[in-house]
Amino acid sequence: MIKNISRKSSSWQLPEHQVTDEGVYLKRRSFLKQLGFVGTSALLSSSAQADWFSKNELTPFVTKPLSFKNSFKSEDVLTPEAKVISHNNFYEFGTSKNDPIENAQQFNVNPWQLNVSGEVGKELTLDYDDLYKLFPLEERIYRMRCVEAWSMVIPWIGFPLAQLIKKAQPNSKAKYVAFETLYDPKQMPGQSSRRIGGGVKYPYVEGLRLDEAMNPLTLMSVGLYGKSLPPQNGAPIRLVVPWKYGFKSIKSIVSIKLVEKMPPTTWNILAPREYGFYANVNPQVDHPRWSQASERRITSGGLFARNRIETMPFNGYEEQVAHLYKNMDLRKNY
């Protein structure tokens, strides 16, 4: 049992009355269809025509409850947790939104090792228990904006990435932080099959500038909705960078390396014209194939519920992060 998880309130914390329901995800990556990895039927599966998330149809991964010093409470009705854990982008387990929960149930998260290395004074190796005990855990309610133009709000549990980086004692050469997902084709069928995994070169890699990684908003998450992460959401530990499009928030991390040069990132390698290194939420910069000016806020409504809202710069966290990009051309550095 994990203890001493506190809930803090900060300027970026969403007021409880703004916490909305999560629900059905509507978009598939049409890019994969163009590459020939996803059939037309997969873009809107037959299950999408009904309520995908009937509790009677779900067999979620067994997670462990996390003890809170001050539990998250809200008078607002949140979308059932089942909607967040059953419809995910995690191509290591398949490209359809419901593939991860179906293909990840036997995923083994313990034992686990997370290595922190590179331009540091003190290399670290964290085991499964360290992920929960090394730093105080807190709950944060963040918006999440997908590059596919849907969005949601999630109560994550974790610790600031800055704490982990400081513990590793970065040296003067450390300018960027490179992340890597577990590579285990036996457990992750998408890694062993171009058809299942969407043609992505694995292991999945991502990166941040060091100052982005050290920003107080940047979170290493080990849980959501009061429990440890299920595998389809990135168990046992994932990154959450709320002012960036969701693909930056890499899942099931096994390596964090501080480096001197900008590291490669998976989607930028696959489609550099569509997925930039920075991936900051910017309603004024459209994706080459769709507008980013608005988003469909996921709610408890049905598939065609009308929940279109305007997208905010930096996903609404402009006050906290805009200074990181002063004098940068955010159209060029998308």
Residue 57 lies in a domain: yes
Q: Which of 63-67, 78-82, 231-235 has the lowest mean pLDDT?
A: 78-82
Residue 278 lies in a domain: yes
Residue 178 lies in a domain: yes
pLDDT in tens, 236-249: 999 999 999 999 99
The pTM is what?
A: 0.84
pLDDT at 72 > cutoff 60: no
Report the pLDDT value the prediction gives residue 96, as an integer from 0 to 100: 92
- The predicted model gives 72-101 an average pLDDT of 77
Residues 6+ apart with CB under 8 A from 106: 187
Residue 333 lies in a domain: no
What is the domain extent for residue 305? 2-325
Give the three-class secondary structure for 205.
strand
Residue 289 lies in a domain: yes
Residue 98 lies in a domain: yes
Portion of the chain with pLDDT greater than 70, in percent: 75
**Rounded-to-integer distance, Cα 24 and Cα 61, Å:** 19
pLDDT at 74 > cutoff 90: no
Report the pLDDT value the prediction gives residue 16, as an integer from 0 to 100: 45
Report the pLDDT value the prediction gives residue 8, as an integer from 0 to 100: 52
pLDDT in tens, 185-198: 999 999 999 899 99
Q: Which token pair is 27?
A: 């978009």
pLDDT at 47 > cutoff 80: no
Report the pLDDT value the prediction gives residue 70, as an integer from 0 to 100: 45
pLDDT band at 54 (very low <50, low <70, confident <90, very high): very low
CATH classification at residue 76? 3.90.420.10
**Rounded-to-integer distance, Cα 270 and Cα 277, Å:** 12
Q: Are 21 and 298 in contact (CB under 8 A)?
A: yes
Q: Which amino acid is at 25?
A: Y
pLDDT in tens, 90-111: 999 999 989 999 999 999 999 9
Report the pLDDT value the prediction gives residue 63, as an integer from 0 to 100: 87
Q: Which amino acid is at 242?
A: P
pLDDT band at 10 (very low <50, low <70, confident <90, very high): low
Report the pLDDT value the prediction gives residue 246, as an integer from 0 to 100: 96
pLDDT at 79 > cutoff 60: no
Residue 210 lies in a domain: yes
Report the pLDDT value the prediction gives residue 238, as an integer from 0 to 100: 98
Domains: count for the chain:
1
Residue 332 lies in a domain: no
Mean of the per-residue pLDDT values for the chain? Answer: 82
Report the pLDDT value the prediction gives residue 295, as an integer from 0 to 100: 93
